[in-house]
């Protein structure tokens, strides 16, 4: 599949934005100056009236997911973040399956270590 590029990002609301992070999120996504995005947004507010652009801005803020607190370092981390923001129940189910799998592996290891055969092999070797 190719190496994960850390500069490749989805369209997210920025956590460092001035008002809901929409303009900074758009600027980050399109690799454009946040100042120009804000100027264009304010101009749109002035020339079209507050309600159409204001409503569009709020809809964008509701649709765009917040940016990850820690930038994903792999495609798996990016996939997990997207699944978590899309469906918390699905992400929690995925975590539960992972921990159940780890618990089963640990149980098998404990069974081997505490079995009578394991004790006998240690006495023979020792």
Q: State pLDDT tens for residues 4-26.
A: 333 446 788 888 888 899 999 99
Summarize pLDDT for 35-67 with one digit per residue, the tens: 999 999 999 999 988 888 889 999 988 888 888
Q: Do 37 and 27 touch, CB atoms closer than 8 A?
A: yes
Q: Is the pTM of this model over 0.75?
A: no
């Amino acid at each position: 599949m190719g190496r994960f590029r850390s500069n490749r990002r989805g369209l997210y609301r920025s956590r460092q934005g001035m008002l809901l992070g929409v303009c900074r999120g758009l600027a980050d996504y399109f690799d454009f100056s946040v100042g120009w995005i804000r100027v264009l947004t304010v101009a749109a507010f002035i020339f079209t009236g507050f309600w159409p652009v204001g409503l569009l801005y709020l809809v964008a803020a509701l649709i765009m997911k917040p940016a990850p607190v820690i930038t994903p370092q792999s495609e798996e981390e990016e996939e997990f973040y997207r699944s978590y923001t899309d469906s918390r129940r699905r992400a929690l189910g995925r975590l539960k399956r992972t921990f159940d799998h780890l618990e089963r592996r640990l149980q098998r290891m404990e069974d081997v270590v505490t079995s009578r055969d394991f004790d006998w092999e240690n006495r023979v070797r020792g």
